[in-house]
Chain A
C-alpha cells in the first residue's frame, strides 16, 4: 500500500494508523487468530477470507458506511468465498498465465497445451506452487482448478509427469528474472510478475489461455478484534475514493477492481494486457477455494511429480 495514502487518511480523520505487512496469508492469519493484536482492517486473499469467515473471525461490513462500494466492478461482487458481499470489499486482483518471449515463440499462445509442446523442451519454467501448477493441468483437461475428485487429480498428475522432461525448472520468484534474461521461452507466472518482466524486457508478452485460469484477489476485511468498526469502514471507504485508489494502484502495480480509478490510470498500465486483460480472456476464470485437508492430497501428487 502507498504509505502516503495512509498519511492522507491520518490527516483527514485526525488518527494514527499502525500499518503492518506480512509475507503470506498464513502469517497474517496466525497473528490475528492467536489474539493479542487488535487490527481494524486486514487484506487477505480469497481463500483466506473464506477460511476466516468459516472460523467466525470477521465482522460483517455495513455497506451503508462505504458509499464508494458503487465503484467496484460487478465482476468482483458476489464471489464464492463471500457470496453476499457481507464480509469483504475487493481490493486488488490478478491472474495466472503464460509469460513468453516473442523472439523464441512464434505461434499464438492461446492454450496451456503450449507448455506441453516438445518444441520448447528445456525452455519451459513451471511454477513451484502446488495449487497453481496442478490447477492449470486440471484446467487444460477441462476440469475445475478446485477439483477434489481423485480421478481428475490422477489425470492431472499423469499430465504433469508427462511434461516433466520438457521443464527446465520449477521456480517461483526466479521465473521473472530468468525470463527477462532470456533463459527460457515460456513461464507460468502471476500477472504481477508478468507486468514487471514486460517492463524490463520488451520482448516478453503475457497470455491467458482459452481454457481459463485462476483469478485471485485480495479483499479488505474487518477482524472481530476491531475496537473501532466505524473508523475501519471509513478507512475502507477512503481507499475506494477514485483518486486514492489510483495512487495506490500506481504504487503497487497490481490490478484494481475500481471502475472509476481505472479510468484515471496512465495508458501504459491500463493497456498492459497482463494487468488488465480483455473481458473475453476472463471468461473461464475460477477463484481458488480453500480445499481443507485435500491440500495433503495435492502435496502427495506434487511430490510424486517432482520425484518421478
Chain B
C-alpha cells in the first residue's frame, strides 16, 4: 500500500497532463460543431481521406523516412567509432554532439536560414573559391537537411549507448573462431546493436514526421507537412475538430510504426533510450 501512496502525485500529474488532454483530443476529433450544438461525427476523418490531405500525409512520411535513413547512414558509423577503443577523445566528441542540443531548436533552425541564403555565408565562401553557388534554401533538400541536422544526435546517442555496453569478449570469441571483420560485424556487432538502432529510428522518425517548424522555415511554406496542417487548424482557422482528427490519425500512425519497430527489436532488448 505504501508504494501505491508514493505513486499518487505522479498519477495525478499524468491524469491532468496526459489523460485529460488526450481525452479532449479524442472528443474534438470525433465530433463536429453544428448549428444545433456539438454532434458525434466521423466526417472529419472522411475529409482527411481527400487527395490533398493524403498527399500531405504521404509527403510527411516520405520526408521523415528519407531523413531517418540519412541519419542512420551517418549516425551508425559515428556511434561505432565513438564506442570503439581506438578513439582517444571520445568524451570530447560526445560532448560536441550534445552541446548544440543545449541551444534552442528554433535558433539552430533560424541559423540555417541565414547560412543557406543566396548571399549567405556558405555561398560567399563558395564564391571566394570560384565554386558554383548552392541554392537549396526553400527546397525539399533544405527541409531534409534541417531534419537530419536537428535529429542526428537522437540516432547516434542510443546506438552509441548500446554499443559501448556491448560485451567485447563476444567479438573476441568470434574472431578466435575464425570470423573475419566483416562477418564479426554482420553476425555479432550489428545484431547486438539492434536495440539502439531501433530506438534511434523511432526517436528520429517521430519528431521528423510531425515537425512543422523546419518545413515552414527552411521550406519557405511550400512543403506543407501534416504538422503545419494541424497548427493551421488550431491557430488560424479555429477548426479544433479537424485539427484533433488529424492529430488522432498521426498518433495511430506513430503507434503502428512503434509496434512494428518493437517487433523488429525482438524480445531481448537490452538498452537504448526507450
Contacts and interface: CB of A to CB of B under 8 A. Distances in A.
A52 interface: no
Given A130-B236, A296-B237, A299-B239, A306 B119 contact: no
Contacts of B53: 303
Interface string A166-178: 0111110010001
B224 A183 contact: no
Nearest to B117: A183
Given A303-B229, A307-B52, A167 B236 contact: no
Interface string A152-190: 000000000000100111110010001001110000000
Given A169-B138, A181-B117, A295-B238, A303 B52 contact: yes
A128 interface: yes
A306 B113 contact: no
A178 B119 CA distance: 10
A295 to B, nearest CB: 6
Contacts of A167: 220, 222
A303 B113 CA distance: 23
Interface string B24-61: 00000000000000000000000000001101100100
A230 interface: no
A296 B229 CA distance: 12
B225 to A, nearest CB: 10
A145 B257 CA distance: 44
B237 to A, nearest CB: 5
B141 interface: no
Q: Report the interface size class on chain A.
A: 20 to 34
A80 interface: no
A171 B220 contact: yes
B232 interface: yes
B62 interface: no
B221 interface: yes
Contacts, number: 54
A292 to B, nearest CB: 11
Interface in A138-155: none
A247 to B, nearest CB: 34
Contacts of B221: 128, 169-171, 306
B237 A295 contact: yes
B108 interface: no
B7 to A, nearest CB: 34
Given A181-B119, A182-B119, A306-B221, A168 B232 contact: no
Nearest to B110: A174
A304 interface: yes
Contacts of B217: 174
Contacts of A296: 237, 239
B118 interface: yes
Interface in B206-231: 216-217, 219-222, 224, 229
Contacts of B117: 178, 181, 183
Nearest to A169: B220
B236 A169 contact: no
Given A168-B138, A169-B221, A174-B113, A307 B56 contact: yes
Contacts of B229: 303
Nearest to A168: B138
Contacts of A299: 232-233, 236-237, 239
A178 B116 CA distance: 12
Interface in A276-308: 295-296, 299-300, 303-304, 306-307
Contacts of B224: 303, 306-307
Interface-centre pick from A171, A181, A303, A304 (highest chain B CB count, 10 A)? A303
A305 to B, nearest CB: 9
Contacts of B219: 169
Contacts of B239: 296, 299
Given A299-B239, A303-B229, A307-B52, A183 B220 contact: no
Contacts of A169: 137-138, 219-222
Contacts of A181: 117, 119
Given A181-B119, A182-B119, A296-B237, A306 B222 contact: yes
Contacts of A168: 138, 220
Interface-centre pick from B59, B138, B222, B229 (highest chain A CB count, 10 A)? B222
Interface of A: 26, 128, 130, 164, 167-171, 174, 178, 181-183, 295-296, 299-300, 303-304, 306-307
Given A170-B221, A303-B224, 11 more contacts: A130-B236, A169-B137, A174-B113, A181-B117, A183-B119, A295-B238, A299-B239, A303-B52, A303-B232, A304-B52, A307-B55
